[in-house]
Structures are given as structure tokens and as C-alpha cells.
Chains A and B, each alone.
Chain A
């Protein structure tokens, strides 16, 4: 086919395992480069010097103790959804339905808060919320998993569609339960009685959420690394054929893992409704289901690293929000910065996994 014998200038080779400091060094450089680019863009748009911009970003997260707690709370919620989708991803089951699963959990909690408030005492309502939101999330995860296991239905698209089914269900119930009538949204549920509100620890409103998520994170780390289940699902992820050959029931693993994944998403939904906003809207999960995909992937599916990656994304998001407010820009500026940083980190994976060798024109290879 080729008229001339020609050697390509660059040649890409797969790298062996890089030591951990090598790979994190590359990622660090990528983040640094991304921050520089973001700084330049921000200062072009705002006309402010970049240092000022970074100070503003920092203040957005750590400025006051209230801001700090909001930061922690946002990290906890994002981390919770990320933890939830991780086992599925490790199995190469692309669950981008975290949004819908969390929403299903949120819906179940809100339903308990509204329907059982005059029937059961507060503690019983909370127990019902926990159980029902876990069940609802798990159900939302089970449906695509079942079809994947049985008929190999494409899970990415299925879970994506399930998100919108959940969103519309929530929109439906927002109208059904609307208060005041005609407003189209639910408002704060049980504002006076505080039934179904998760208890507050001391003065810290969000401490309970943070503790629960921290426990889940450690639990997931142990589950993935030290349990038989965790081993099985990573074998399924690496090679389904190998898994079948060694006698792992792949269908069972898929369904079991997605039940777990959905259940934890359900808990995230419950925490959002019961522990944070005490209301239900169709945007309560706030795209965390999608962001979680990126958090989990950036951390290479390691729950402990996810603390850092979710911190990074939330920190930048809030920082960009602060810039937007300070310089009276549009709030979406944060999404642009997040996008740019993600591109850089995604790109940096290439340099971790592959090596580029240059062919010098002088040297002939045999």
C-alpha cells in the first residue's frame, strides 16, 4: 500500500506500571498546568491578576466557618455518590445513573417524611426513611443490572434513561405534594415538627452526613480490597471470560454489585433530603451522578483517593462560584473551569499509561 518506506516520527508504547509517585507526579503537573490555564482565562475575562483570582477561590471555600462546612457537606455528598458508583465501575459496568438512583432514594425519604409524619414517631420515620431509600436506590440500580445480566443490554444508555424517569417521577410528586398549593414545589418538609430530619450532632449541622460518608468510604475500601466480593467483581471487570472460567457467576456478581451501588446512592439521596435540604426538587442531586463518574475515574476507583478528587472538584466549583459572585460573572463560569481541569487530568492519564518515543532521523532502526 505504502509507496515509500517511512517511519513515523513518534511512536507510542504502552508503559509498564509506573511507581505511584510517578503517576501522581504527572497528575499533579496536569492539575498545575490546568490551574495556570484557568488563571489566565479568568484574568482575561475579569481583568484581575491571577493571584487575586486564586485568593478568591480559596476564600470561596475557607473564607468563613459556614463556607467551610458547606464545602465539607458538598464533598461528603459528592463522595457518597462516587463511592456508590465505584464498585460498578470496577466491574466495567458503566453506571451513569447515579443521579437517578440518588433521586429515587431522595424521593423515598421524602415520601416517608410526608406520608408517615402523622402516623409514626420521629425515630420510626427515620428508620423507615433509611430502609425505603436504600430499597428505592437499590431497585433503580437493579433494573438495568438485571437486563444487563440477562440479555446484555447496554448499561450506559439504560442507566442514563433511568435518570430521566426518576427526574420526571420526582417532578410528578413535587406537584402532588406541593405546598403551598399551586407553587409546584414542595418547600421545606415538616418545618415546625422537624419530623424525619436527621439529628444534628452538637452545633454542627452537617457533621452527621460527613461521619456517615466517612464510614461508607472506609467500608467501601475494605469491601473492594479485602473481601471476596470485591475480588470477584474486579475479576469480572478485568475479563468476563476469566471470571466464568474460574467459576464466578457473572450474572450474580453484576446484580449484587449494582444492588449495592444503587443502595449507597439511595443513602446519598436520603442524606440530601433528611440531612441537608429537607426538601425535594428534581435538581436536588445537582448533577452529582455525573460528576461522580469523573471523581471515581480520576481516583482510579480507589475510595481513599476519591476524598482528594472530590475535594478538588468541589473546591474548584465553589471557588469559581466565588469568583463569579465577586466579579459579577455568570455562575456557570465554574463549569467552564471544571471542564478545563478535567480535560487536563483526562489527558494526563495518557502520559501515565503510555510512553512516547521519538524516532530521530539520524538513527536508522535495522
Chain B
């Protein structure tokens, strides 16, 4: 019997980092920036949160005296600051200096993953413990606080109310982003910038400003995905490379949802489910098949990518000028 009650909460918890990442990347791509640095940014978001929390915990005389509010606020802000810096570097290079977006993004990923793993490793040295990883369970407990009555509500509580606040934030942010993109003037302008910056420019929209804002805010949202992963999902334990390829999966999710972050809410849970499906499908002694199950999210993404390009519906296409730097004096 497939245990849905155990499966769904884990799938959702697994999907939240992807949701943050894909919401951020959707926003970024709508401005015409294909930010392949998202995996790196999510690492930086995670590690900066860890650094913030680590310094805060070190400054306390004992872990019991942690102030819940500060314990959440400090990692949250430092995480956002870290990913903001990454987004800013990306914008500076691609928007102002018009460098190639793919190369910049990949360099950002190299840097970000290295940054995360390096400080992940060095913090352990700083704390002087013999453990192989940083453990911040006190801070993690603050992040994991869920509604007190969630346990009493049976399956309903388990499926809907058992998560830390960042999970709900992810959903809210995704819905807000979808609303802004679709229903507001700023969203319309942003989409115009992504589709055809020259036209947007002619209409008096400040192309660079929109690109900067969308990409930096997008990076900050994506960085929260890394923070959620460390603080909530992993219980405050940073292990190098534990975050894995979720960043790329988040980029895949953007395509899967055809650039709509409201669809992303359910799609990310689906991807989260697919990501851990191999643990729940009985395959006896044949461990190899599990590796094939892990392939499913990527194959599905390819299929969606192909189908959307075949059907060629206008609303399902990538932003027209995705990946192209804009220079006003160039035709």
C-alpha cells in the first residue's frame, strides 16, 4: 500500500526549495535574463543564512536563550543579503556590461557552489568541533515552528499545517509574483522588457531598471530556497553538496510551468514528489531502478519543453529576448 500520508508532506517539503527557486527564476527570465546562476545563488542563500545563524548562536551564552524573533530574522536577512549580492553581480555583468548570460550564469554557479562548500567547511573549523557538518538545531527549531494545534487535526494537520513558516511564504510569494506579472502595470512592463526590450525602451520603460529589479528580487527569492533547505528541511545541518542539483531542477520547473509561478505551486510539489518517489516505490532488491526513477523529473521537463515548442502557442513560449543582452544603439 502506498503511504500517501507520509509521502505528501515529504513531497511538499522537498518541493518548497524548488518553488522558491523557480519563482525567482521565473521573475528573472520574464525580464529576459536567463540566470543559470540560480544553483549557485541558492547555495549562497543557504550558506549566508547558516553564517548569520552561526554567528548569532555563537554570541549567545547558551542555546536556550535564543530569541525566536532574532533567530529567524538574522539568518533570513543575511541569506537575502547574500543572494542579493549574487543577483547584483549577475546584473552588473549582463545588464550594464552586456556580457554573455550563459557564461556569467555558469561562472556564478561555480562561484556560488564553491562559496557555499568553502564556508560550510570552514565554519566547522571555526566552531572547533570534530563533526563533519555544521549543526544549528536551535535556529532550525525556530524555523520549524508550526502551528501548535497542527498535531491535533489528524491527517489534515499533517498534510497542510505541519510546515515551518518559510513553506507558506514560498506559496504566498509564488502567488504574489504571478499576480504582479499578470495583473499589474509593473508586471506588464516587465514582460515587455523580456519580450522586446527595444519596444519597451521606445515606450519609455527603463529597461535596465526593470532588469535589475527583477533579477535581484528573483535572486533573493531563490536564495530563500537554499535557506529553507538548510534550516527547515535539513534541520539546521549544513553538509557540503547536500543541496545537490535542486537548483537545476528549479530551472527545469520554470519551463515545466511555462513561466507561470502560480502553476509552480502545484508543479513544485509534483517535482518534489518525483524527486523522492524512488524511496517510496517498492522495487525489491533492484536498487538500480531507483536511479531511473530519479530521471523522471528531467524527462518530463524535456517532454514539456518539446510539446510547448511544437504547439507553438504564443502564451506558452519563453520570453522572446531571453538570453540576449540589450544595447540601445544596436539594431
Contact = CB atoms under 8 A, between A and B. Distances in A.
Interface in A155-214: 156-158, 160-162, 164-165, 168-169, 171-176, 184
Among B245, B301, B330: residue with most chain A CB under 10 A: B301
Interface in A306-352: 329-336, 338-340, 342-343, 346-347, 349-350
B323 A336 contact: no
B90 to A, nearest CB: 10
Nearest to B34: A156
B102 interface: yes
A228 B115 CA distance: 45
A69 interface: no
A176 B288 contact: yes
Given A168-B295, A332-B113, A354-B98, A346 B93 contact: yes
6 contacts: A14-B330, A330-B118, A332-B116, A339-B107, A346-B100, A347-B92
A134 B106 CA distance: 26
Interface of A: 1, 13-14, 45, 94, 96, 147, 151-154, 156-158, 160-162, 164-165, 168-169, 171-176, 184, 287, 290-291, 293-294, 297, 329-336, 338-340, 342-343, 346-347, 349-350, 353-354
Contacts of A335: 110-111, 113-115, 117-118
A293 B97 contact: no
Interface in B47-97: 89, 92-93, 96-97
A165 B302 contact: yes
Nearest to A338: B110
Interface in B290-331: 291-292, 294-295, 298-299, 301-302, 305-306, 309-310, 312, 318, 322-323, 327, 329-330
B45 to A, nearest CB: 16
Contacts of A333: 114, 118
A172 to B, nearest CB: 4
B97 A162 contact: no
B327 A14 contact: yes
A97 to B, nearest CB: 11
A184 B287 CA distance: 9
A313 B109 CA distance: 15
A13 to B, nearest CB: 7
A164 B295 contact: yes
A294 B111 contact: no
Contacts of A164: 245, 248, 295, 298
B111 A349 contact: no
A208 B302 CA distance: 37
Contacts of A1: 204
Interface in B207-259: 240, 245, 248, 251-252, 255
Given A329-B118, A333-B118, A350 B111 contact: no
Contacts, number: 162
Contacts of B265: none
A171 B291 contact: yes
B306 A294 contact: no
Interface in B172-195: none
A346 B103 contact: yes
B162 interface: no
A33 to B, nearest CB: 15
B102 A94 contact: yes
Contacts of A347: 92-93, 97, 99
Interface in B99-145: 99-100, 102-104, 106-118, 120-122
B294 A168 contact: yes
Given A157-B251, A172-B291, A350 B110 contact: no
Among A291, A293, A335, A340: residue with most chain B CB under 10 A: A335
Contacts of B102: 94, 96, 156, 293
A338 B115 CA distance: 11
A342 B309 CA distance: 33
Contacts of A330: 117-118, 120-122, 240
Contact of B111 (A94, A158, A291, A336): A336
Contacts of A45: 122
Given A151-B309, A168-B292, A343-B93, A332 B252 contact: no
Nearest to B103: A297
Contacts of A153: 305-306, 309
A296 to B, nearest CB: 9
Contacts of A157: 251-252, 255, 301, 305
Contacts of B291: 168, 171-172, 174-175
Nearest to A340: B111
Given A164-B295, A339-B107, A297 B100 contact: yes
